[in-house]
Amino acid sequence: MAVGMPKAVILVAEDEAVVRNVVKLALTNAGYEVLAAVDGAEALALSREYAGTIHLLLSDICMPNLTGLELAKRVAQERPGIRIVLMTGTSGVVFEELPRALLRKPFRPGHLVEQVAAALAEPREPEVRN
């Protein structure tokens, strides 16, 4: 990130602690601010509590309490224009609607950072909070 530029804020929802920690470390080292949650329900609560802009949601698809797909729908409704990248370690997952950005596990930290940067580079509508 350029000097003086504000950090992009990324909300990470991942129930596997090892994966969550690797993701958080890779994104923090790349200059992003990371809000990490242990499942979809905690991520939704973090999104609702965080007063600033969240630029991207990075979520595992299969999680307890609230799936990544449901989390993405709710967060997108509450934060229009947020970018979303979903992760899955399950092969053969069938989607009603294919997510714009899907990251297959396992992945290298460098590939993760590239996917996040690409998603953040996409144009979006300004976020309007009620």
Does residue 23 form part of some domain? Answer: yes
CATH number of the domain enclosing 54:
3.40.50.2300
**What is the CB-side half-sphere exposure of residue 128 using CA atoms within 13 A?**
1
Query: Amino acid letter at 28?
Result: T
Helices (H) and strands (E) in the chain, counts: 4, 5
* Global confidence as pTM: 0.86
Does residue 24 form part of some domain? Answer: yes
Indicate the DSSP class of residue 106. Answer: S
For 97, the domain range is: 9-121
44 touches 14 (CB < 8 A): no
Question: Which residues are bridge partners to 85 per DSSP?
Answer: 58
* pLDDT lower than 70: segments of the chain: 1-6, 91-100, 124-130
Total of domains in the chain: 1
Kindly report, residue by residue over 31-68, the tens digit of the pLDDT. 999 999 999 999 999 999 999 999 999 999 988 889 99
